Amino acid sequence: MKKRIAVLGSTGSVGTQTLDVIAAHPDMFEVEILTANNRVDELIRQTLRFQPNAVVIGNERHYPRLKEALAACPVKVFAGYDAVAQAAAMPSVDMVVTALTGFSGLLPTVKAIEAGKPVALANKETLVTAGEIVTELSRKHRAPLLPVDSEHSAIFQCLQGETYRSVEKLILTASGGPFRSKTAEELSRVTREDALQHPSWNMGEVITVNSATLMNKGMEVIEAYWLFDIPVSRIEVVIHPQSVIHSMVQFTDGSIKAQMGVPDMKAPIRYALSYPHRLSSGHPRLDFAEYPSLTFEKPAHDRFPLLALACRALEEGGNKPCVMNAANEAAVSAFLEGRIGFTDIFRRVETALSRISYVAHPTLDDLLETHRETIGSAMYQP
């Protein structure tokens, strides 16, 4: 039987690539649910192509346009954030791909897990903000979390057939972004256009900026902690500009496994959708002759402090990672809108971590309030 997939955030970078993978394997998968927030025209095009059972537009203002355009289609049309979460738990869904951006991915993922759905997780913020809650729910409802991030997919693949007792260290690789060689003074002059020129990956705007600040890697450390139950002291980040080693695992005998390949998000998406099997693909193969040298270097914590701030937030626990994430969301949005400079992102995140009230054992409601409080506070920062 075909696996029926709900793609939450189908019009974004990961969502559209997920649909490409589904289209390439029509005998294996079919689209059951599509959701988007604002890109109603793209959602209409996707719906007409894939003919899902239901579609949801998060921004209710676009509902009339969506409903009218799909009037002749046998598809259910819903609107609103609550409807996105409800769609993730529909009985007809076999797997949920959470490709939403930001904190908005948390509640739909929780609803999918509570309904026992396997979740292919591409939304970093879910585990960053609520890792303890989400992983406990995953165990309780026996709903596996399958990583879609290339780094965590790499680690997941390297751990197949291994025991956790034999794991000494996880090694997350990072391209270093477009600014790894810039001085602090040069970073202060970075523009929006500069920050969106990633040297290796084709991603959405927010993720691309997070990669440039190394916040992306800090969030991935937190994700790795929750996904693989490895203490932060045994998770290392290395800069690997060629981006062909997607991450590594070092074992207690000194051996290291690395997962390699041409940078292509469809590879980890495909693996998550088909796990525990591998599907053939026509995407480019790694030609070692094109990479005569693979280089590695340590991250520059002095120029890119968000990586260390993320590790500190994880160690302090409670709602600190949620504060960090919300402050970063607000700061990146302000940077993309031209209201603050690139290095102001660092300052705003650090300020929020020192200002927002600490909650040691947050509930889901506590995290929602922390997110709202942090976003509100960030709006009034100079």
Residue 279 lies in a domain: no
% of residues, the chain, pLDDT over 70: 97
Domain boundary pick from 116, 147, 178: 147
Distances (CA, A) of 89 to 44, 54, 124, 132, 222: 22, 12, 20, 21, 26
Specify whether 111 is located in the same domain as 202.
Answer: no
Residue 60 lies in a domain: yes
Residue 132 lies in a domain: yes
Specify whether 201 is located in the same domain as 221.
Answer: yes
Rounded Cα distance between 124 and 216, Å, is 9
CATH number of the domain enclosing 56: 3.40.50.720
Specify whether 307 is located in the same domain as 328.
Answer: no
Specify whether 116 is located in the same domain as 9.
Answer: yes
Rounded Cα distance between 316 and 359, Å, is 10
Please give the tally of structural domains in the chain.
3
Q: Pick the closest to residue 256 from 155, 367, 377 (CA basis).
A: 155
Query: What spatial distance separates the first Cα and last Cα of the chain, rounded to whole Å?
Result: 56
Residue 282 DSSP code: -
| Mean pLDDT, residues 104-112 taken together | 95
Residue 225's pLDDT is: 98
% of residues, the chain, pLDDT over 90: 88
Specify whether 299 is located in the same domain as 166.
Answer: yes
Residue 354 lies in a domain: yes
Specify whether 10 is located in the same domain as 97.
Answer: yes
Specify whether 168 is located in the same domain as 119.
Answer: no
pLDDT at 201 over 80: no
Q: Pick the closest to residue 85 from 3, 11, 9, 21 (CA basis).
A: 9
pLDDT at 146 over 80: yes
Specify whether 181 is located in the same domain as 238.
Answer: yes
Residue 47 lies in a domain: yes
Q: Which secondary-structure segment (H or E) carries 35? A: strand 29-36
Specify whether 122 is located in the same domain as 169.
Answer: no
Give the dihedral sign, CA 49/53/57/61: positive
Domain boundary pick from 147, 165, 181: 147
**pLDDT confidence tier of residue 193, bands split at 50, 70 and 90:** confident
Give the pTM: 0.92
Residue 239 lies in a domain: yes
Give the dihedral sign, CA 233/234/240/242: negative
Specify whether 95 is located in the same domain as 224.
Answer: no
Q: Provide the residue range defining the domain that includes 76.
A: 3-147
Domain boundary pick from 130, 147, 164: 147
Number of H-type helices and E-type strands within the chain:
16, 11
**pLDDT confidence tier of residue 143, bands split at 50, 70 and 90:** very high
pLDDT one-digit tens code per residue, 301-357: 999 999 999 999 999 999 999 999 999 999 999 999 999 999 999 999 999 999 999
Specify whether 60 is located in the same domain as 126.
Answer: yes
CATH number of the domain enclosing 337: 1.10.1740.10
Residue 240 lies in a domain: yes
Residue 271 lies in a domain: no
Region of residue 164 (left: phi > 0; alpha: psi -120 to 50; beta: else): alpha
Specify whether 60 is located in the same domain as 170.
Answer: no
CA 8 to chain centre: 12
Environment class of 375 (CB within 10 Å of its CB; exposed 0-12, middle 13-18, buried 19+): middle
